[in-house]
Amino acid sequence: ETVMTQSPVTLSVSPGERVTLSCRASQSVSRDVVWYQQKPGQTPRLLIYGASTRAFGIPARFSASGSGTEFTLTISSLQSEDLTVYYCQQYNNWPWTFGQGTKVEIK
Amino acid sequence: EVQLVQSGAEVKKPGESLRISCQGSGFFFSSYWIGWVRQVPGKGLEWMGITFPRESNTKYSPAFEGRVTISVETTIDTLYLQWNSLKASDTAIYYCARRGLNYYGVDVWGQGTTVTVSS
């Protein structure tokens, strides 16, 4: 099973800041990574698929990159509605596995 | 409207059986991979299993294989998740999730079914 490790666990930021979240896979997963945003009491929302393609309706301030074992999600200018939890997930091999999440909170 | 609608919250005792459901509408249900994702309160997300109804092709995560059964009733576009003997550690929110047609992200989620197992 591929273990996905996200860092940091918690990120304290100020609105307007550039934010970078990291995700590392325990083995190569090519570019088979998606990113989700989950707000409290809500279902996850797909942000990115194929490591770098924004899903429909996702604002341009969200971008992502990576391949192999290292992946990043960047929020270019943090908005207040972005303060929540983000998960990466690989789908290169079954079982598909999520990272443990990064919580983005206000500084 | 494309949606997945899940059955309501359940409270069960250890050892009891349970089946929860997820009904699709607004899309051709049998042509999508649809599965179950578990979220223990305050914790992360785990894929339990996924199925392609049109081909009766089901994959289980090793962590859940033998503990749960995923089934489909295509005539009513409904996915099921079943336990024969619940444990307290099965307490969680269970989401059904549709994989995108041309990409691997989940583009449609059910609203979640909370299962509480307590004596």
The pLDDT value recorded for residue A44 is 96
In tens, the pLDDT along A77-100 reads 999 999 999 999 999 999 999 999
Question: Which residues have C-beta within 8 Å of that of residue B99, sequence separation ≥ 6?
Answer: B32, B33, B34, B35, B50, B105, B106, B107
Residue B22 C-alpha, separation from nearest chain A C-alpha, in angstroms: 15
Instruction: Inform me whether the C-beta atom of residue B36 falls under 8 Å from chain A C-beta atoms.
Output: no
In tens, the pLDDT along A11-68 reads 999 999 999 999 999 999 999 999 999 999 999 999 999 999 999 999 999 999 999 9
3-state secondary structure of A76: coil
Mean pLDDT of B47-73: 95
**Confidence category of residue B101, pLDDT binned at 50, 70, 90:** confident
User: Over chain B, what HEC string results?
Assistant: CCEEEECCCEEECCCCCEEEEEEEECCCHHHCCEEEEEECCCCCEEEEEEEEHHHCEEEECCCCECCEEEEEEHHHCEEEEEECCCCHHHCEEEEEEEECCCCCCEEEECCCEEEEECC
The pLDDT value recorded for residue A39 is 96
Mutate which: A5, A9, A33, A43, vs B, most B CBs within 10 A: A43
**Confidence category of residue B50, pLDDT binned at 50, 70, 90:** very high
Is residue B43 scored above 90 in pLDDT? no
The pLDDT value recorded for residue B41 is 85
Rounded CA gap, B63 and B89, in Å?
Answer: 13
The pLDDT value recorded for residue A33 is 97
Rounded CA gap, B96 and B4, in Å?
Answer: 7
Decide if A78 contacts A14 (C-beta within 8 A): yes
What is the rounded average pLDDT for all residues in chain B?
A: 96
In tens, the pLDDT along B66-86 reads 999 999 999 999 999 999 999
